[in-house]
Amino acid sequence: MRPWPAPAVPVLPGRGEPVLLHDTSTGARTVAAPGPRARLYVCGITPYDATHLGHAATYLAFDLLQRAWRDAGLEVRYVQNVTDVDDPLLERATRDGVDWRELAASQVELFATDMEALRLLPPASWVGAVEAIPRIAAAVRALVARGAAYALPPAPDQVDHADGSPGDVYADLSADPRFGQVSGLDRDTMLALSAERGGDPQRPGKRDPLDPLLWRAARTGEPSWDGGTLGAGRPGWHVECTVIAVDDLGSGFDVQGGGSDLVFPHHEMSASHGGLLYSPPFARVYAHAGMVGLDGEKMSKSKGNLVLVSKLRAAGVEPAAVRLAVLAHHYRSDWSWTAQGLDDAAARLARWRAAVAVGGGEAGSLAAQAQEAVLADLRSRLADDLDAPGALAVLDAWAAVTLAAPAPGTRADLVADAVDALLGIAL
């Protein structure tokens, strides 16, 4: 897919610090990418509804990471997928009487527009599941060939159940000694989350209730593709991300990212497939953004309690204010979107802009030194597990001092560039 256009990113003097990130799999902070290249995969949208603030917050977290990496001199390669064929998308299309491909295409388009408005760095490679199906099918066949996957008997509702085609194919988790290392969860929790998040632990005939679907045999009324020896069908969700990530970034890439709702089963299973298909580990670090809610509930397409980026834009809200409202929360915390948070962000943006307009000064002056200190402090806040609230506090303090002793007509260009490059906000 063609990604949205990239925003301009000013190059700052000096260099940022190596970025430390909390790794879900170890619970410890670690250097996110030792360099000189940084390879990032972030799980993309399932395009059946418009971008909500939760999605935006997750992508913003990894946008901050990339900006900090670039500032630290790393060459960043960023890949994102689009889950453009999946049960929820097909169900929504059927419910609304639209073609699933048209629904996906329209939502992908809207997402790209939202991302561009929010000035998110686009992925170098933006890959739809559908376009990757031949490669995914090959990976599933490879798992079957090495005894790490098995087919169930054909299901009665399969299109070709009578002609000897195999049934649905599942990964055999007992083939993977590393299974469980990403999430570190106990089995009961895994079972509960599997049922909640797209798994089918109740399905009879599986060797282990947790075994995830790799290939779903064709059903009447569902799209399907030729899977070779797998028969006609479509891929399971986790193996899609495994293949799309490793094909582009190579096994052992630096950071696998997404929201915390993906820790289990999605990232656990993707890592399991990846570890068996290629040389382990699948990724070096697993990083997860907290869940954004509305009125105390997780914001989700299925619950319908959404604040849409596109609606806010249509209502005239400045995207920079949306960005700042999100960045007021640490990426790992769970938080709720509020109108007050947006008002606060707009007020903060106005204060920073007023300070930039009067906060410059000659080289060597106190005002110039204050700007250099801001840049150093922003860099150290962001290198510390992307502490955006800490970065905002640095700027608030600078703005307060600057506005108390303004030098009208002197623009604080260094601060403006730093906020633009590191936080993605143009002042």
Among 135, 298, 313, 330, binds ligand 5CA (CB under 6 A): 298
Among 239, 241, 312, 370, binds Zn ion (CB under 5 A): 241
Ranges within 32-51 binding ligand 5CA (CB under 6 A)? 43-46
Among 81, 183, 242, 272, binds ligand 5CA (CB under 6 A): 81
Binding piece for Zn ion, criterion CB under 5 A, among 11-19, 39-47, 226-234, 386-394: 39-47
Which phi and psi (to 5°) does residue 60 adopt? -65, -35
Q: Which is nearer to ligand 5CA, 261 or 387 (CB)?
A: 261
Among 299, 342, 375, 388, binds ligand 5CA (CB under 6 A): 299
Binding piece for ligand 5CA, criterion CB under 6 A, among 170-178, 295-303, 337-345, 351-359: 295-303
The answer to whether residue 423 forms part of the interface with Zn ion (CB under 5 A) is: no
Would you say how long the chain is, in residues? 427
CB of 56 to ligand 5CA, least distance (A): 8
The answer to whether residue 358 forms part of the interface with Zn ion (CB under 5 A) is: no
Report helix, strand or coil for 60. helix
Do strands 75-82 and 125-128 pair parallel, antiparallel, or not at all (unpaired)?
A: parallel
The answer to whether residue 322 forms part of the interface with ligand 5CA (CB under 6 A) is: no
Site string for ligand 5CA, 191-230 (x = CB under 6 A): ----------------------------------------
Instruction: Give the closest residue to 94 by CA, choosing from 223, 240, 238, 226.
Output: 223
The answer to whether residue 158 forms part of the interface with ligand 5CA (CB under 6 A) is: no
The answer to whether residue 65 forms part of the interface with ligand 5CA (CB under 6 A) is: no
Among 43, 269, 308, 419, binds Zn ion (CB under 5 A): 43
Do strands 225-226 and 232-235 pair parallel, antiparallel, or not at all (unpaired)?
A: antiparallel
From the list Zn ion, ligand 5CA, none, partner contacted by residue 283 (C-beta under 5 to 8 A by kind): none
**Element containing residue 82 per DSSP (H, E):** strand 75-82
Among 140, 230, 262, 322, binds ligand 5CA (CB under 6 A): 262
The answer to whether residue 312 forms part of the interface with Zn ion (CB under 5 A) is: no
Sign for the pseudo-dihedral over CA of 128, 131, 137, 142: negative
How many helices (H) and strands (E) in the chain?
13, 15
Among 24, 25, 58, 242, binds ligand 5CA (CB under 6 A): 58
Token pair 């947006």 is at which residue? Answer: 342
Are the C-beta atoms of residues 72 and 380 closer than 8 Å to each other? no
Are the C-beta atoms of residues 411 and 357 closer than 8 Å to each other? yes
Are the C-beta atoms of residues 324 and 314 closer than 8 Å to each other? no
Token pair 């801001």 is at which residue? Answer: 374
Report helix, strand or coil for 418. helix
From the list ligand 5CA, Zn ion, none, partner contacted by residue 261 (C-beta under 5 to 8 A by kind): ligand 5CA
The residue number whose beta carbon is nearest to Zn ion equals 43
Q: Which residues contact 152 (CB under 8 A, 6 or more apart)?
A: 167, 168, 169, 170, 203, 205, 206
Sequence letter at residue 424: G
Instruction: Give the closest residue to 198 by CA, choosing from 236, 240, 152, 155.
Output: 236
Among 261, 385, 417, 420, binds ligand 5CA (CB under 6 A): 261
Q: Which is nearer to ligand 5CA, 262 or 391 (CB)?
A: 262
Q: b/e string for 62-81 if b means 16 or more Cβ within 10 A?
A: bbbbbbbbbbbebebbbbbb
Question: With contacts defined by CB under 6 A, how many residues of the chain interact with ligand 5CA?
Answer: 21
Residues that bind Zn ion (CB under 5 A): 43, 241
Residues that bind ligand 5CA (CB under 6 A): 43-46, 54-55, 57-58, 81, 83, 241, 258-259, 261-262, 289, 291-292, 298-300
